[in-house]
Amino acid sequence: MNLKNLLDNSTDTSLSGQKWHMLRQAIVKRLLSSGNATIAELGSELQSSVPTVTKAVNELLIEGYVVDMGKITNSGGRRPSLYSINPTCAYFLGVNVNRASMSIGLQNIKNEFVSIELDSSFVLENTAESLQELCNLINSFIEDSAVEKRLIVGVCINLSGRINSMEGFSYNYFFSENRPLTEIIADQLGLPVRLENDTRAMTFGEYREGIVDGEQNIIFLNYSWGVAIGMITDGKLYYGKSGYSGEFGHSTIFNNEIMCQCGKLGCLETEISGWSLVNQFKNALKEGKQSKVVLEDNSHTLQHHAIISGAINLEDSLCIELVTNQSEKMGRYLSIILNIFNPELLVIGGDFSQLGDYALLPIQSALKKHSLGLVNRDVKLKKSSLGLRAGVIGACCVVKEKMLSQLIIN
């Protein structure tokens, strides 16, 4: 039993062999996209006879792709069996890599985690040693998961910054002009690998398994150490031409002469982000303001976490003042995005979403003040429901969507 075999082209090149393979794929597609079904329902929807569908389903049962869920109740006569995809026939591995940690999870084909590790220790550096450590950690996770590697359909790895998912290149980390990063990692893992921008993966995770409730036009804000947005338009993830959409934090907005991490001056991130929050906190202390929070002097520790925690857990007045001021600014500039895209839903995710009303209320107030009234009435503002799991869930969703694209056809 290996779903990869069903995804591949049939080894039988005859017309009848090709048709039979397509019917088997269509049955799996139907059970994946719409849920459990009886033989009669499959036959009707796939426009195939009951005996033919019965034979195909029996083959899929024997091979382990499909399971019999038992008889269902009906109004009379012989009770039919209900069939479902076997959750153990395929797995999808998602990896979300942050600056000072990584999260990794393995989902079965029904989107259930069989193994997950959140915020494991890992320092992301643009070195060959860091890449090797990442591959070693992924391989160790697979070995400890008790899932056979041959059943893992593919891997999606999320990184921040400019990611060309179509060609498999990252232009911020581990860039090589000679080979796509996906090929380099695939050699280490022995599995198909896809790269995705972390914010875009979080957006897709929220859309598939999070707070989204039927909305088809969505803006997701990843408000963390840096700032970026992900977009769903008409129910589809928006990439742009080469996959570089969503770099909201690197919009040159302020005339402050502060150097951004991207190398430009005055980007939104220079005043609204986790790293700018740390700078603002340190400057406030130098000016004589007081705080209960003490920042650890560690370049790999995301110090903004301590300030966010200080606002939430200690009700520290300086922390609350700083995050409130930032969030009001964030709402002001998000209003531009609302006026351009007119979304149905704005989801606040990332580290700052942990602040709850400390962030949401200033953002909401600024949106009402600065966006067009008609646009503002169209949009709902919600906090991410997935939290730390958003990236790894999104990665699993991305690899499932891509690897099964020949089965899941809208």
The CATH T-level fold of domain 213-385 is Nucleotidyltransferase; domain 5 (3.30.420)
Q: Which helix (H) or strand (E) holds 164?
A: strand 163-164
- In Å, how far are 29, 53, 88, 311 from 23, measured between CA atoms? 10, 8, 21, 57
- List of residues 6+ apart from 199 with CB closer than 8 A: 160, 220, 222, 228, 229, 230, 246
Does 91-202+396-403 match 213-385 in CATH topology?
Answer: yes
The DSSP annotation for 217-238 comes to: SEEEEEESSSEEEEEEETTEE-
Q: Please choose, from the candidates 230, 215, 208, the residue with its C-alpha nearest in 3D space to the C-alpha of residue 408.
A: 208
Q: How far apart are CA 45 and CA 87, in angstroms?
A: 23
Q: What is the pTM of this model?
A: 0.89
Sign (positive/negative) of CA torsion 241, 250, 320, 97?
A: positive
Helix, coil or strand: residue 192: coil
The whole-angstrom separation of Cα 167 and Cα 181 is 9
Which CB contacts under 8 angstroms, 24+ apart, belong to 22-26?
Answer: 23/48, 23/52, 23/53, 23/56, 24/56, 24/59, 24/60, 25/406, 25/407
Residues 259-296: b if buried by 16+ CB within 10 A, e if exposed: ebbbeeebbbbbbbbbbbbbebbeebeeeeeebebebe
Q: For the chain, what are the domain ranges?
A: 3-85, 91-202+396-403, 213-385
pLDDT at residue 408 in the model: 46
Residues in the chain: 410
Q: Are 194 and 239 spatial neighbours (Cβ–Cβ below 8 Å)? A: no
Owner of token pair 């860039």: 175
Tell me the two tokens of residue 226: 């840096």
Domain 91-202+396-403 has CATH 3.30.1330.20: no
Q: What is the pLDDT along the chain (410 residues), one digit of tens a residue?
A: 567 777 777 777 788 888 898 899 889 888 887 889 999 999 999 999 999 999 999 999 999 899 999 888 766 667 889 999 999 888 999 999 998 899 999 999 888 999 999 999 999 999 999 999 999 999 999 999 989 999 999 999 999 989 999 999 999 999 887 899 999 999 999 999 999 999 999 999 999 999 999 999 999 999 999 999 999 999 999 999 988 999 999 999 999 999 998 899 999 999 999 999 999 999 999 999 999 999 987 665 679 999 999 999 999 999 999 999 999 999 999 999 999 999 999 999 999 999 999 999 999 999 999 999 999 999 999 999 999 899 999 999 998 887 667 554 44
Residues 231, 238 contacting (CB under 8 angstroms):
yes
Q: What per-residue confidence (pLDDT) applies to 409?
A: 44
95: alpha, beta or left? (left if phi > 0; alpha if psi -120 to 50): beta
Q: Which two tokens stand for residue 222?
A: 């990843």
**What is the longest distance spanned by two Cα atoms in the chain?**
83
- Interatomic CA distance for residues 356 and 205, integer angstroms: 20
User: What does the pLDDT read at residue 298?
Assistant: 66
Q: What is the DSSP letter of 87?
A: T
> One-letter amino acid identity for 254?
F
Instruction: Tell me which architecture the domain covering 3-85 has in CATH.
Output: Orthogonal Bundle (1.10)
